Structure 1
Amino acid sequence: MNSNWKKIFDMIQKPERIIIGLMSGTSLDGLDIALCGISGEGRETKVRLIQFTTVPYTNAFKAEVKAIFSRRDADLQQVCLMNEKIGVYHAELILEAIASWGLKPEDIDVIASHGQTIFHAPQSLHGLEAYPNATLQIGDGDHIAVHTGIVTIADFRQKHLAAGGEGAPLAVYGDYLLFSRKGEDRIMLNIGGIANFTYLPADQDASKVFSTDVGPGNTLMDQFVQRHYDGLYFDDQAKIAQAGQINNLLLERLLRADFLSSEFPKTTGPELFNLQYLEDAMAAAGVADLSPEDVMATLNGFSAAVIIDAVKRCFGAGQTPSIYVSGGGMHNPLLMRSLRAGLPTAQFFTTDDLDINPDAKEAVLFAVLANETLVGRGVDFGNREGVPSVQMGKVCLPV
C-alpha cells in the first residue's frame, strides 16, 4: 500500500484526529491557523481548539494579492505564479506555527486549507446563461503538502459548485454540526469582508438549515480606508466612522442593489461591493464631495442595515433569535451598537460562548470539513438549491 494512503487509513481509525484549519479571507489581514483535535463525525463531532494564531501578512504580500484580487483584467501569469507562491508561503507559516507550539509536522494528521479567494463569480453576478457558477481560490494544496510533509485537504468550494451550489457560504456545514441546539433558534453571524449567516432552527431539522451572504461586512469600509488613509488597512475601533455622520441620501442609494432584495440563499463579493459601486452611488446621490468621515459613517451604517434587514427577513421583526457573532466586524463597536439597536429583541453572543474563539471560527470550520471528508457519513440537508448534501475537498499527498 502507498505509504500516504496507509497514513490516511491509520488516521481514520484514530479516536481523535489532529487537524490544522487554515483561513485567509478577502480582508487579507493574515493567515488564521487553528490547531484542532477532532473526534467523531456528523452530529457527533467534537472539537478541541488546542492552539490558534493569526500571522499578519506583510504589506508587500498584500499588494501582490491585491494586484490579481477581484479583477477581470488580472495578469494570468501573475495568477499562476501566486497560486504556487501562496501555497509555499502558507506552508512556511504553518511550519513556523507548529514549531512555536513545540510540535513537529509528524504530530499533525491533516491540514485543511481554504486557500485565497481571488474571484467569486456565481451566475447571479456574472449573468451569463451559458456559464455555470464559479469561484477561484489559489494557494495550491500540493505545495502545502509537499513543503510540510503533511496530508492536505484543499479546494473545498469546487465540489459545492459541481453539486449545484454557488461555492459559498460553506459555513452552513460546520455550523450545523457544531452549533445547532434543540430548543433555540440560532443565527451564526460572521462579519468578514462579506457578512453572512447560518440559520439553525430550534427543531434541528437539517432540511431547514441554510447559510447565505447578506451583503458587505467590512469590505467597502476596508477598501475606502486603504485608498484614503495612508498606512491604514481598516477603521480601527470605528474611529473614523464615529467622527462622521450617516448621509441618508447616500445610504438610500447604496441599498438599491438588486442583490440585497433577492431571495436566500445567495452569495456575493467585492466583485459587486467595491469602490466603483460606492462612487456610482455617491454620484447618483449628488454627494461626491462628502467628507471621508461621513462616507465611513455611511458605509458602517450600510453594513448594519443589510444585516438587520436579512435577520428580520429570516425571522420576522417580532422574533427573538440568539445571534452568535464572529469575524472581524465583531470588533467594530459602532457596527455592533447599530445591530443591537436595530434588532432589539435579539440576544447577542459571540462563539466564545460556545467554546470556540470567534477569530478562529472559520479556520476551525474548515478543519471540521476536512474531518468530514475523511470519516463523515454525510448529512442530508434536503433537496434544496444552494445547500447540496456533499463532502468537500481534494486530498493532496506529500511526496
Structure 2
Amino acid sequence: MNYSIQQLSEIASKPERNILGLMSGTSLDGLDMVLCNITGAGRETLLEVKKIKTFPYPQDIISRLREVVSVEEASLQEVCLAHTWLANYHADLVLETLAGWEMEPTDIDAVASHGQTIYHAPFVKHRKKGMPNATLQIGDGDHIARNTGIITISDFRQKHTAAGGEGAPMASLVDKLLFSHPTENRFLLNIGGIANFSFLPSQASDARYVTTDTGPGNTLINAVVQSEFGREFDRDGAIAASGTVQPELLRQMKQDPYFHEPFPKTTGPELFNLKWIEKNKKKVGKTGIAATDLVATLTWLTAETIADALRSVADGLDADTPPAVYVSGGGMHNKTMMRWLNGLLEDIPVESFETIGYNPDAKEAASFAVLANEMLAGEGFLIDPKQGTPRRVNFGKISFPV
C-alpha cells in the first residue's frame, strides 16, 4: 500500500485525532489557529479546544490580499502567485506556532485549512442563466502539507457547491452536529465580514432547521473606516457611537433585493462594498454625509438586518419555548452594534457563544477542524440543496506531505 494512504488509514482509524484548524475570513484581519482534540465522528463527535492562536496580518499581507480578494478584476498572475505564497505563509505560521507550543508536526494528525475566499459567486449574486453556484479560495493545501509535513485538508466549500449548495455557511453543519439542545431553541449567530446564523430547534420542537447569511456584518463598516479614518476597524464601535444614523439612507440600503431573498442565501464583499454604498448614497442625495454618520448608519444596517432575519424565524416559534442567541465573530466586540442588536431583539436574550462552553473567537477554525475530522472518519453531513435529493456529503480535499 502507498505509504501516504496507509498513514491516512491509520489516522482515520484512531479513536481521537489532533486537528489544527486554520481560518482566515473576509475581514482580512489575520489567521486564527485552533488546536482541537476530536473524539469519534458523526453524532458521537466530541470536540475539545486545546489551544488558540491568532496572527494579525501585517499591512503588506493585507495590501497584497486586497489586490485579489472580492474584486471584479484582478491579475491572473497575482491570483496564481497568491494561491501559493499564502499557503507557504500559513505553513510557516503553523510551524512557528507548534514550536511555541512545544509540539512537533508529528503530534498533529491533520491540518484543516479554510484558505482565503477571494470570490464568492452564488447564482443569487451573478444571475447568469445556466451557470452554477461558485466560490473560490486560495492557500494551496499541497504546499501547506509539503511545508509542514502534515496531512492537510482544504477546499471545503467546493463539494458544497458540487452538491447543489452555495458553498456557505459551512460552520452551520457543525453547529447542527454539536450544539443542538434538548429543550432550548438556539440561534448561533456569527458576525464576521458577513453575518450568518444557524437556527437549531430544540430536540423536542417540530420547527425547521435554518442556516443562512443575513447580509453585511463588518465588511461595509470596515471598508469605510479604512478609507475615511485610516484604521482597520471601528474598535468597540466608538466611531458609530459618535455618529447619527441617517434614516433615509438606511431605508434605501434595505431595499436591496438581497434582503428580500428567501433563506437560505449567501453573499459576500462582491456585493456589499464601497461601490454599493456610493450607489445608495447617490440615490438619496446623501453624497456629502459625514463619515461618522455613515459608519453609524452601516452599523445600524448590520444590526437591523440581523434582527430582521432572526425575527423572521423566531416569530414562528411556540411562545412557550422562546429562543436564545449566542454570538461569535469579530462583530461581537463592537459594543455599539451589540447594544443596538440587543435593543432590536428586545425579549430575545443575546449572549456570547462562550456561554455554552466554547471560546467564540475559536468557533470558525474549530468548525473546519470538525469538517476535516468527518472527512477522515465519518459518514458525512446530510445537506438539503434548494433542488435535488438530500444526501450525505463529506467536505475537503486531502493533500499528502509526500
Instruction: In structure 1, give the amino acid aligned to 2:263.
Output: F
The residue number in structure 1 matching 2:300 is 301
The residue number in structure 2 matching 1:173 is 173
Instruction: In structure 2, give the amino acid aligned to 1:286.
Output: G
Taking the aligned partners of 2:162 and 2:205, their CA distance within structure 1 comes to: 25
Whether the aligned pair in 2 keeps the contact of 1:207 and 1:381 (CA below 8 Å) is no
- CA drift at 1:384: 5.1
The residue number in structure 2 matching 1:223 is 223
Distance 1:317 1:380, change over 3 A: closer
- CA drift at 1:288: 1.1
Whether the aligned pair in 1 keeps the contact of 2:186 and 2:325 (CA below 8 Å) is yes
Q: TM-score, normalised by structure 2?
A: 0.96
Taking the aligned partners of 2:10 and 2:185, their CA distance within structure 1 comes to: 38
Taking the aligned partners of 1:315 and 1:65, their CA distance within structure 2 comes to: 38
Post-superposition CA distance 1:73-124 (Å, at most 9, x none): 1111100000000110100011111111110000000000000000000011
The residue number in structure 1 matching 2:382 is 380
| Structure 2 gap ranges (5+) | none
Taking the aligned partners of 1:62 and 1:285, their CA distance within structure 2 comes to: 33
Instruction: In structure 1, give the amino acid aligned to 2:100.
Output: S
Match of 1:347 among 340, 346, 349: 349
Question: Is structure 2 residue 397 aligned with structure 1 residue 394?
Answer: yes
How do residues 27-176 of structure 1 correspond to structure 2 at under 5 angstroms? 27-176=27-176
Post-superposition CA distance 1:237-259 (Å, at most 9, x none): 11111111101011111111101
- CA drift at 1:72: 1.8
- CA drift at 1:130: 2.4
Taking the aligned partners of 1:238 and 1:294, their CA distance within structure 2 comes to: 12
RMSD: 1.7
The residue number in structure 2 matching 1:234 is 233
- CA drift at 1:389: 3.5
- CA drift at 1:210: 2.8
Whether the aligned pair in 1 keeps the contact of 2:201 and 2:207 (CA below 8 Å) is no
- CA drift at 1:197: 0.2
- CA drift at 1:385: 4.8
Whether the aligned pair in 2 keeps the contact of 1:180 and 1:204 (CA below 8 Å) is no
- CA drift at 1:278: 0.6
Taking the aligned partners of 2:204 and 2:43, their CA distance within structure 1 comes to: 10
The residue number in structure 2 matching 1:246 is 245
Taking the aligned partners of 2:385 and 2:29, their CA distance within structure 1 comes to: 36
Higher mean C-alpha displacement, 306-315 vs 202-211: 202-211
SS in 2 for 1:363: helix
- CA drift at 1:317: 7.7
Whether the aligned pair in 1 keeps the contact of 2:164 and 2:386 (CA below 8 Å) is no
Instruction: In structure 1, give the amino acid aligned to 2:327.
Output: V
- CA drift at 1:341: 0.6
The residue number in structure 2 matching 1:332 is 334
Q: TM-score, normalised by structure 1?
A: 0.97
Taking the aligned partners of 2:341 and 2:142, their CA distance within structure 1 comes to: 42
- CA drift at 1:378: 3.0
Identity over aligned residues, as a percent?
47
Taking the aligned partners of 2:392 and 2:214, their CA distance within structure 1 comes to: 22
SS in 1 for 2:54: strand
